[in-house]
């Protein structure tokens, strides 16, 4: 009896002692961390800005409030957000790497490039092939860790005040564009312009601007540009799948426990997938409303696309001659794209083309 009583009390004591020991260990495993995310997107772009908010919420909830990231809008200057993260002013940021073309043209491969991959192909390259490794190497000198955080899918090709029927119609067109797309468009005769976002409508109205790069219909709808530049062209051959990036300060990343890093990666992937889904769900209705409001849909003529493809090849060659890193990542990226295209031709493309033909036939029968 005394022995059983001793063992019972000893067991209770060990259990109590174990609880006392476990509490500090748990606290060490789940430290309190507070970060700030600087977004280059304004709240007026609910899908892209909302992706950053969703990412922060996932991290907060999954950590039980121990790891909190506060999002804040920084406007449309993606370069400033990049530099803020690189300089350690903020812990992480959200933006399009293509905005950093002047800093390093190769960074555009972490976003979108002329005649590049669509959203699904980009995901395959980033998450299952060499994309993430190669882009990480580009960010290393800037002390940044990158993760995908949203892909818009293929975007529209722009708002134009006049129709583009031939390549000659692009000569002298003053267009709001920049970066890698601007380099290619300039070779086609376009005159790239830089205009503040809140001055675009005024510039179109005063005839000092002829065209504006477009985004997705659900984002473009709020701009009302169909009243000033009614021709809405597609597709955006320079943004077949525009991927946004989560920039993370490498020193801040290094301080995180391993399970917090896994949490960040999981949260970013969840938010990343939701962006394409949301655009796909909202763009059809937005496009219908835009055309009802006066937007005139136009496809780029094949001759224009062919000239743009040739000009893109020339720009890529010139950049590759200057920078072996650009040459290496360009070769890997385009090589992977070309490997995927035959599969998409016999699967997605063939299936979609058939369904569209049947939908058109059904529409004629009605």
In the sheet with 92-95, reading across from the earlier edge strand, the strands are: 67-73, 33-39, 92-95, 243-249, 144-151
Q: Are 92 and 248 in contact (CB under 8 A)?
A: yes
The reply, when asked if residue 155 is annotated as ligand binding, is yes
Question: Do the annotations mark residue 239 as ligand-binding?
Answer: yes
Half-sphere exposure of 167 (CA within 13 A, CB side): 15
By the 8 A CB rule, do 200 and 209 touch?
yes
Alpha carbons 85 and 252: distance in angstroms, whole number: 10
The annotation status of 213 as a binding-site residue, yes or no, is yes
Q: Which residue has the tokens 């743009």?
A: 308
- In contact, 191 and 172? CB cutoff 8 Å: yes
Buried b (16+ CB within 10 A) or exposed e, 135-149: beebbeebbbbbbbb
- At 22, phi and psi to the nearest 5? -70, -30
β pairing state of 174-176 and 211-212 = parallel
Q: Which long-range CB contacts under 8 A does 296-300 form with residues at least 24 apart?
A: 296/226, 296/230, 296/231, 296/232, 297/232, 297/234, 298/160, 298/163, 298/164, 298/231, 298/232, 298/233, 298/234, 299/233, 299/234, 299/235, 300/157, 300/164, 300/233, 300/234, 300/235, 300/237
Q: Which positions make up the binding site?
A: 155, 213, 239
Q: Which positions make up the binding site for substrate?
A: 155, 213, 239
């Amino acid at each position: 009896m005394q022995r059983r009583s001793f063992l019972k009390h000893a067991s209770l004591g060990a259990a109590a002692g174990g609880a006392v020991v476990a509490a500090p260990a748990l606290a060490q495993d789940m430290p309190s961390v507070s970060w700030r995310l600087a977004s280059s997107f304004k709240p007026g772009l609910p899908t892209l800005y909302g992706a950053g908010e969703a990412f922060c919420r996932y991290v907060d909830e999954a950590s039980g409030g121990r790891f909190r990231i506060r999002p804040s809008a920084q406007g449309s200057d993606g370069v400033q957000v990049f530099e803020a993260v690189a300089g350690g002013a903020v812990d992480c940021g959200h933006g399009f790497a293509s905005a950093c073309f002047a800093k390093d043209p190769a960074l555009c491969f972490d976003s979108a490039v002329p005649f590049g991959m669509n959203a699904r192909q980009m995901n395959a390259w980033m998450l299952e092939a060499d994309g993430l490794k190669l882009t990480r190497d580009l960010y290393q000198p800037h002390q940044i860790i990158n993760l995908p955080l949203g892909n818009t899918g293929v975007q529209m090709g722009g708002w134009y005040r006049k129709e583009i029927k031939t390549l000659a119609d692009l000569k002298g067109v003053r267009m709001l564009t920049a970066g890698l797309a601007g380099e290619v468009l300039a070779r086609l005769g376009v005159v790239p312009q830089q205009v503040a976002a809140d001055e675009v409508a005024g510039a179109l109205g005063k005839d000092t601007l002829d065209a504006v790069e477009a985004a997705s219909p659900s984002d473009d709808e709020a701009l009302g540009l169909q009243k000033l530049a009614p021709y809405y062209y597609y597709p955006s051959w320079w943004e077949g799948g525009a991927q946004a990036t989560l920039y993370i300060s490498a020193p801040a990343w290094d301080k995180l426990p391993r399970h917090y890093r896994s949490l960040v990666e999981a949260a970013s992937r969840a938010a990343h997938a939701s962006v394409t889904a949301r655009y796909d769900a909202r763009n059809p209705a937005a496009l219908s409303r835009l055309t009802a409001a006066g937007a005139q849909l136009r496809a780029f003529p094949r001759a224009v696309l062919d000239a743009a493809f040739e000009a893109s090849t020339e720009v890529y060659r010139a950049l590759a001659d200057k920078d072996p890193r650009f040459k290496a990542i360009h070769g890997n990226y385009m090589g992977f794209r070309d490997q995927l295209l035959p599969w998409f031709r016999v699967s997605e493309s063939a299936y979609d083309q058939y369904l569209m033909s049947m939908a058109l036939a059904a529409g004629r029968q009605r």
